[in-house]
Amino acid sequence: MGRLHQFNTLRNQIFIGFFLVMTIILFVAGIVTYDKVAKLLENSAETRIQQTAVQANGRLDALLQQMDMLTAQVATNSYLQKLLVAELDGKKANFDQRQSLQQVAESYQAYVTGIQSLELYTTDNRRLFPLDENRLENRVARNWIDSADMAKGGLVWIGPDPNDRGSVLAIRRVSLMERWYSHGGYIVARIQRSYFDFNEPGANQSGNILLTDRAGHPIVSDFGDAAAASELLGQEGRAVDSSGEEYLVVKQHSESSGWTLSIFTPVSEITDGISVLRTAILASGLIGALLFLIMSFTLSTMITRPIFKLIKAMRGARLGVLRPNPMVSSTMEINELNNTYNQMVDHMNELIKVVYEKEMLQSRTELKALQAQINPHFLFNTLEAFYWSLDEKGEDELAGLVVAMSGLFRYIISNPNRDEWVTVGEELEHVERYLQIMKMRLGDRLTWNIVTTQEHNVVKLPKLLVQPLVENAILHGVENKIGEGAVSVSIQPSEQPGYIRIAIKDDGPGMDEETLQELRRAMEGGPTISSKGTGIGIVNVQRRLKLYFDAEADKASGLRIDSRSGSGTTVSFEIPSESEGAV
């Protein structure tokens, strides 16, 4: 029993299954050989049909050339030439002269039985013959007249006559030989469609023939079903009509007329004689496909069912704590894989618990440590005493300074009821107080501008994100500049929806590329480059942004610094416009 259990492995199951499949494939391969023979017969029939199409196209070109020669003779008729020269000179033909054209037309029509009528028009599109007042533009479309002009005396085949569906029209421009082959008028020939019935009498023509004009309109067709013929237009090679009949389509294009000759041969005729062979092949193919389907389904079920159960257990890990999978499989490899997974689950659950507790402790400790760097505690009572003392002595400017400092420190020290989150408006008020204090120290050297809206003022953000950046702008921008300096704070919508952009800009000396790169490395945990103060302000803001907006790390930008030597510095960051504070 143990030996049998060892034999029942996944490798052996796959081997046996594919062995059976390959046996079926070899069996089918023998039948495919017969199909190759059938293909050779089909190719031979296709070659014969192609030759038939070339011969039919040759007969079509002969018919077209015959009509071209006839209309060329009409165009060069001496009487017709003199009549058109007179028209060109302004001498309009009278009734008798136009009536004489009847004899000219009949004499040429006798040569070819397919011509129903010949029509003659002047250069201004008036009809001379037949005797009516119809105009050429009412007879054919303007583009065909232009084509006749471009052909310069060549015959242009128009296609089916819109006034008589049993006829085909062709147009030729008449060139006056006495006037250096100048434009003298037009000849329109109306030809019976039966003229293009170029099948030889008694010929055993296989397939259906369809002759179409440039626009795809049928001219001659021996299709019994006109709808089926229209469906097959535009297709070449193998084509299937709406009834399910498959045809072999061979096309030949006539350069002189622009028409297309198509021969549609039913594939059933080509493959006549090998239907029994095809039936046997199809039957064998169906049997082989059925067996392959059964074996593949059985094999895949045997392999994938236990694996799917294991995958389902793994997916359950996304909903909470990892859970072991109690599955037992008859396959040795699957059992070993499941046992390994259960051991991994136990180990990972222990690690997750330890890491989670450490991360929580580290995050809380780091947040408080970062807050402590920029949250010094001051004695408000002492400041109040300073204020009243200075007020009594009339030191209004110094008293205002003490009031501003008192508001500054009250904002910095955390309020347990408000936690660490404030609105943008409150943060900007704190920035305004800080700038007033710096104004007392720098005097006229410092100016500032704060741009915001009421909508942006209610957005929540962690306390003291903007003021340290303003402090850096004054310390490294305004103070390092000779003369007046300006600091601007702007709150604007971000390019990504649901975010706002806060930017602090100064017009100081800026930074070169090397200094800018060092600052960026310091923001990522490298050594500070500041020569003034502690140099932790901008690094502190960067770390607090990452900590407070960790859930938005894939969208929030962190600090972005743009600076060039001599062009000032801009520090900006983006936060969600609907932040609701820390959880």
Domain stops at, among 165, 180, 196:
196
With 0-12 / 13-18 / 19 or more C-beta atoms within 10 angstroms meaning exposed / middle / buried, residue 22 is exposed
With 0-12 / 13-18 / 19 or more C-beta atoms within 10 angstroms meaning exposed / middle / buried, residue 158 is buried
Residues 6+ apart with CB under 8 A from 526: 518
pLDDT of residue 194: 81
Handedness of CA 70, 73, 75, 77 (dihedral sign): negative
* CA-based nearest residue to 191, from 114, 139, 104: 114
CATH at 93: 3.30.450.20
With 0-12 / 13-18 / 19 or more C-beta atoms within 10 angstroms meaning exposed / middle / buried, residue 172 is buried
Tokens (6 digits) for 101? 């054209």
Same domain flag for 350 and 499: no
Bridge partners for 161 per DSSP: 164
The answer to whether residue 92 sits within a structural domain is: yes
Same domain flag for 114 and 167: yes
Tokens (6 digits) for 25? 């494939």
Which residue is associated with the tokens 């062009």? 567
Domain range for 355: 321-371
C-alpha to C-alpha distance for 563 and 472, rounded to whole angstroms = 13
Check if the beta carbon of residue 524 is closer than 8 Å to that of residue 501: no
The answer to whether residue 236 sits within a structural domain is: no
Same domain flag for 359 and 479: no
Domain stops at, among 196, 224, 255:
196
Same domain flag for 569 and 429: yes
The answer to whether residue 129 sits within a structural domain is: yes
What are the C-alpha distances in Å from 469 to residues 65, 431, 458, 464, 532?
Answer: 90, 10, 20, 9, 14
Same domain flag for 422 and 339: no
Same domain flag for 337 and 452: no
The answer to whether residue 137 sits within a structural domain is: yes
Reading across the β-sheet that carries 127-129, which strands appear in turn?
A: 127-129, 115-121, 182-192, 164-176, 155-161
C-alpha to C-alpha distance for 526 and 454, rounded to whole angstroms = 38
Residues 6+ apart with CB under 8 A from 102: 129
What are the C-alpha distances in Å from 500 to residues 439, 471, 490, 547?
Answer: 28, 21, 10, 18
Same domain flag for 87 and 146: yes
Three-state SS for 278? helix
The answer to whether residue 515 sits within a structural domain is: yes
Three-class DSSP labels, 380-407: HHHHHHHHHHHHHCCCHHHHHHHHHHHH
Same domain flag for 180 and 124: yes
Same domain flag for 554 and 418: yes
Handedness of CA 300, 303, 306, 312 (dihedral sign): negative
Same domain flag for 550 and 470: yes
The answer to whether residue 582 sits within a structural domain is: no
Q: Which long-range contacts (CB under 8 A, 24 or more apart) does 9-14 make?
A: 9/331, 9/332, 9/333, 10/303, 10/331, 10/332, 10/333, 10/334, 11/333, 13/299, 13/302, 13/303, 13/331, 14/299, 14/303
Check if the beta carbon of residue 566 is closer than 8 Å to that of residue 510: yes
Backbone dihedral angles phi then psi of residue 140, each to the nearest 5 degrees = -130, 160
The answer to whether residue 265 sits within a structural domain is: no
Count structural domains, the chain. 3
Same domain flag for 550 and 475: yes
C-alpha to C-alpha distance for 87 and 90, rounded to whole angstroms = 5
What are the C-alpha distances in Å from 378 to residues 382, 383, 409, 533?
Answer: 9, 9, 7, 20
Same domain flag for 446 and 336: no
The answer to whether residue 537 sits within a structural domain is: yes
Domain stops at, among 162, 179, 196:
196
pLDDT of residue 202: 43
C-alpha to C-alpha distance for 189 and 163, rounded to whole angstroms = 13
CATH at 553: 3.30.565.10
Task: Encode the chain (583 residues) as per-residue pLDDT tens digits.
Answer: 455 555 565 555 665 666 667 667 756 766 676 677 667 767 777 777 778 778 878 888 888 888 888 888 888 888 888 888 888 888 888 888 888 888 888 888 777 777 888 888 988 888 888 888 788 888 888 998 888 889 888 889 888 888 888 889 999 999 888 888 888 889 899 888 888 775 554 444 556 787 877 777 777 777 665 556 656 666 666 666 656 677 777 787 888 788 888 877 777 776 665 666 666 666 666 676 667 657 766 666 666 667 667 667 666 666 555 677 666 666 676 777 777 777 777 777 777 776 776 677 566 655 654 554 444 443 455 555 555 555 656 666 666 666 666 666 666 665 544 557 889 999 898 888 888 888 877 888 889 999 999 999 999 988 888 988 998 898 888 888 888 889 999 999 988 888 899 999 999 888 888 888 888 888 877 666 655 544 457 888 888 888 777 644 445 568 899 988 888 899 999 988 876 554 3
